[in-house]
Structure 1
Amino acid sequence: MSEITLKIIDRDGVAHTVQAPTDMAMNIMEVVRAYELAPEGTIGICGGMAMCASCQCYVLNEVPLPEMGPDEDAMLSEAFNVKPNSRLGCQIPITNELEGLEIALAPEE
Structure 2
Amino acid sequence: MTDEVRVYVEEADGQRTEVVGPTDMGLNLMELLKASGYDIQATCGGMALCGTCHIEVLGGPTLDEPGDDEMAMLESLPVLREGSRLSCQIRIADAIDGLVLRLMPQDS
Q: Offset of 1:9 from its aligned partner?
A: 2.6
One of 68, 71, 81 as aligned partner of 2:79: 81
TM score, norm. by length of structure 1: 0.88
Identity %: 36
Q: Distance in 1 between matches of 2:41 and 2:58?
A: 19
Q: Offset of 1:86 from its aligned partner?
A: 0.1
Q: Which residue of 1 is the match for residue 70 of structure 2?
A: 72
SS in 1 for 2:32: helix
Q: Offset of 1:43 from its aligned partner?
A: 2.5
Residues 57-101 of structure 1, C-alpha deviations (whole Å, 9 max, x = no match)? 000014121221000000011012211110000000011011100
Q: Which residue of 1 is the match for residue 95 of structure 2?
A: 97
Tell me if structure 2 keeps the 8 A contact 1:29–1:43: no
Residues 4-38 of structure 1, C-alpha deviations (whole Å, 9 max, x = no match)? 1110134x445320111111111111011001111
Structure 2: runs of 5 or more not aligned:
none
Tell me if structure 2 keeps the 8 A contact 1:7–1:102: yes
CA RMSD of superposed structures (Å): 1.5
Aligned pair count?
Answer: 105
